[in-house]
């Protein structure tokens, strides 16, 4: 039996450019897909957030280039909490998974400090 599960992830982006945001989005999504054996057909929606210092590109643009053209995608700005990690791209993927399958959340590069328990 399948159920809806959420997969979280984050990655730091070295600079506020279209290219850097696109490359890091693709890197993060590719790792999430690989570690979870995620199939595009099982995705319900993807929600991206970026810290306020990243505004040169929509992560959804990169996701579309990966063939996610039929998946609802949404981008938003993360809350600007003083002292929080900068240049972070976060993602929440809602998808169908077998009930007994665990998800593998992915926190890459500088974003590893956000969830050391993963």
Question: Which residue numbers are catalytic?
Answer: 8, 64, 75, 78, 90, 107, 115
Conformation bin of residue 113: beta by default, left when phi > 0, alpha when psi is -120 to 50: alpha
Tell me the residue length of the chain.
Answer: 118
In the DSSP assignment, the letter for residue 113 is G
DSSP three-state, residue 32? helix
Is the Cα torsion angle 66, 70, 72, 76 positive or negative in sign? Answer: positive
């Amino acid at each position: 039996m399948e159920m809806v599960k959420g997969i979280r992830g984050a990655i730091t982006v070295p600079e506020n450019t279209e290219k850097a945001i696109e490359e890091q989005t693709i890197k993060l999504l590719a790792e999430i897909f690989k570690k979870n054996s995620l199939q595009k057909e099982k995705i319900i929606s993807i929600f991206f957030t970026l810290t306020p210092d990243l505004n040169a590109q929509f992560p959804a643009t990169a996701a579309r280039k990966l063939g996610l053209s039929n998946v609802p995608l949404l981008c938003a700005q993360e809350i600007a909490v003083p002292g929080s990690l900068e240049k972070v791209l976060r993602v929440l993927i809602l998808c169908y998974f077998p009930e007994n399958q665990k998800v593998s959340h992915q926190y890459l590069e500088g974003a590893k400090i956000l969830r050391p328990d993963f």
